[in-house]
Amino acid sequence: MIKLKYSFFVFLFFCFLNTKAQINLVPNPSFEDTVGNNCWIQMLLPNPLISTNYVKNWYSSSNFGSPDYMNVCANSYTSAGGWPSTVPLSRNGYQKPKTGNAYIGMGTWVINYPTDSNAIMVEYSTVELKQKLKANTCYYGEFYASYADYCEIGINQLSMLLTVNNFTTASYSFTNTIQPQIQWDTTKYFTDTLNWVKISGIFIAQGGEQYLTFGNFKDGIHTKKTGLVSNFISPESFPGTRKFSFVFIDDVALYELPTPQLGATNYTICNNSDSLVLGDTARWQTTYQWFANGLPISTSNTIIVKPTQTTNYVLQSTQCGVTNQTITVTYSTNCEPVVVTEPIIPNVFTPNNDNVNDTFIFELNNSNLKSFTIYDRWGIEMYAFPSRASGNVYIKWDGRTTSGIECTAGVYFYVLEYTDVNGDTHKKNGYVTLIK
């Protein structure tokens, strides 16, 4: 008998590793692309007079007012119409973009307007998705929001709504009947002016949804409000009251979530001193229930097991319908060492968001990752991939520093250290060229 030197690792991967599942269905998700050469752009419904005066793909679907577009290129407070759209300091507050150079801002409540269902002033931003959503298919959506400094009212509503038809406020009655697929926790007020707060969720599509809209979809009765004290001084005079709610939005994403798939369903453990890790290391949130020979044992995303007899482990996922998947672990006293293959590491990638070779990615099979670090040509650390213990590790670099700053084109040096399933340590280094 040959004893394995340490724990054997097995992981459940979502199919999002497939290229198709990785596609963000939201065009222009960070609001970087514009139509025309105007730096300051107030998002308005397209018409012949301002046909080039809006951010690409996105438009206003508001019954009153229009969302604002902020960009670092608007470097003065003399923007069109006297509405400063400068970044990070704008007419409504101070905030740096989550990524890139731009974001949008929109009013979600104005308290001095009538509070009847269709009469409230609320702004809405809409985009047409790259493709229609599939019926009975699970999707993950997220966006980042930050509350504007110079506001004196906070509300409990901020949502992402997916609709089949083009969203216009004239087509919807704002009572309490609209149920957005992804929304802020309505038991809390959204008032964070410092951070970009991720709002995310998972839902099952009815089928045919093609339009994504941000806003407050509740009437005055169903919108909870709280008074705030603003210490922010606007860079320009503002006529009227500041008793309204205004939020910034950046980095919108919507992904299809295929049914989780097991890489393998049968494994052998050598003796009662060895352990096995089963679980899900994918990015998507879900709920879990583990069973061992029919008995519930855990609700975590990963479990460590040390069976002393052949055991059937069942992972039940209930976030997008009930999915049951079984792994059979056979207990044996006679095992052979696992064959370890050298990773194939690419030497060039092009992170230009064209969905082709956008990431520097490779896989470690049956290994524990100890460290993976990227350095520039002067030896300055650019990016460090976190250590990870697993059977198969996908190492992925998107061309940004650890803090999220885009790296310039050039040649970078990497250092890789890992331990294989037989306990042997490997150190590799090499070069990768980043092209834009």
DSSP string over 214-265: EE--S-TTT--EEE-------SS---S---EEEEEEEEEEEEEEPPPEES-S
* pLDDT surpassing 50 at residue 19: no
**Of 20, 30, 13, which is closest to residue 283 (Cα–Cα)?**
13
Architecture of domain 348-434: Sandwich (2.60)
Class in CATH terms, 19-257: mainly beta
CATH code 2.60.40.10 region(s) in the chain = 264-331
CATH code 2.60.40.2550 region(s) in the chain = 348-434
pLDDT in tens, 200-245: 988 989 999 999 999 998 877 788 888 766 555 555 444 445 678 8
Handedness of CA 341, 263, 299, 22 (dihedral sign): positive
pLDDT in tens, 390-400: 667 788 899 99
Contacts of the segment 341-345: beta carbons below 8 A, 24+ positions apart: 341/365, 343/416, 343/428, 345/414, 345/416, 345/428, 345/430, 345/432
Tell me which of 159-163, 319-323, 408-412, 422-426 is least confident: 319-323
The whole-angstrom separation of Cα 215 and Cα 163 is 13
Could you tell me what percent of the chain has a pLDDT over 90?
27
Q: What is the pTM of this model?
A: 0.61
CB 389 within 8 A of CB 9: yes
CB 176 within 8 A of CB 222: yes
Residue 221 token pair: 């009765």
Q: Which residues pair with 115 in a beta bridge?
A: none
Q: What single letter denotes the amino acid at residue 184?
A: W
For residue 46, the model assigns a pLDDT of 47
The whole-angstrom separation of Cα 38 and Cα 70 is 12
Handedness of CA 158, 193, 285, 142 (dihedral sign): positive
* pLDDT surpassing 70 at residue 173: no
For residue 75, the model assigns a pLDDT of 60
At 44, the pLDDT band (50, 70, 90 cuts) reads low
Tell me which of 183-197, 276-290, 321-335 is least confident: 276-290
Mean pLDDT taken over the chain: 77
CATH code 2.60.120.260 region(s) in the chain = 19-257
* pLDDT surpassing 50 at residue 119: no
| Rounded average pLDDT over 175-198 | 88
For residue 51, the model assigns a pLDDT of 42
88 preceded by cis ω (within 30°)? yes
Could you tell me what percent of the chain has a pLDDT over 70?
72
pLDDT in tens, 238-292: 444 567 889 999 999 999 876 555 555 677 777 666 777 776 655 454 677 889 9
For residue 3, the model assigns a pLDDT of 36
More confident residue, 116 or 404: 404
Specify the CATH number of the domain 264-331. 2.60.40.10
* pLDDT surpassing 90 at residue 199: yes
